[in-house]
């Protein structure tokens, strides 16, 4: 078998190091690109969704407190304010659901969807063809 002299061995070692460096640099570029994509998704979809969901939670808490206070004090104006907080909760949740990129594989929500009808809409069996 042909034996390599010391110069060839040194150049072979340098070549292996250069190849490792090139592969390492290429992989770090790919990971950097994936990180940028993930950060772009976070800033465009997840952060606004978190803000809107906090708004929804806050409106929901105000609604619960408002209904409780209105019932105890028998204040019809308090019921109206609590109902408005409930509408704000629904609006904030719809805004979360409408954020593009948040649900990449989900179908869009029906336009005529209402909170009270969600159970019957989801549980209703599909119509069958007449036999």
Domain extent, residue 85, equals 6-100
pLDDT tens profile 88-115: 999 999 999 888 877 666 555 555 555 5
Residue 120 within a domain: no
The long-range contacts involving 36-45, CB below 8 angstroms and separated by at least 24 positions, are 41/101, 44/100, 44/101, 45/99, 45/100, 45/101, 45/102
Query: Is residue 122 a contact partner of residue 109, using CB atoms and an 8 Å limit?
Result: no
Residue 32 within a domain: yes
The pLDDT of residue 125: 41
Residue 23 within a domain: yes
pLDDT tens profile 32-46: 999 998 888 888 888
51 vs 91: CA distance, rounded Å: 13
Model confidence at 1: pLDDT above 80: no
Q: What is the mean pLDDT of residues 52-59?
A: 94
Residue 108 within a domain: no
Total domains in the fold of the chain: 1
Residue 25 within a domain: yes
What is the pTM (predicted TM-score) of this model?
0.55
């Amino acid at each position: 078998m042909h034996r390599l002299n010391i110069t060839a061995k040194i150049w072979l070692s340098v070549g292996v190091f250069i190849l490792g460096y090139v592969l390492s640099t290429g992989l770090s570029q790919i990971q950097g690109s994936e990180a940028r994509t993930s950060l772009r998704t976070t800033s465009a979809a997840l952060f606004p969704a978190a803000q809107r969901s906090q708004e929804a939670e806050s409106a929901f808490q105000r609604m619960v407190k408002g209904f409780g206070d209105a019932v105890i004090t028998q204040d019809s104006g308090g019921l109206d304010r609590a109902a408005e907080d409930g509408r704000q909760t629904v609006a904030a949740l719809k805004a979360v659901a409408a954020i593009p990129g948040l649900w990449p594989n989900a179908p869009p929500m029906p336009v005529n969807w209402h909170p009270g009808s969600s159970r019957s809409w989801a549980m209703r069996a599909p119509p069958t063809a007449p036999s």
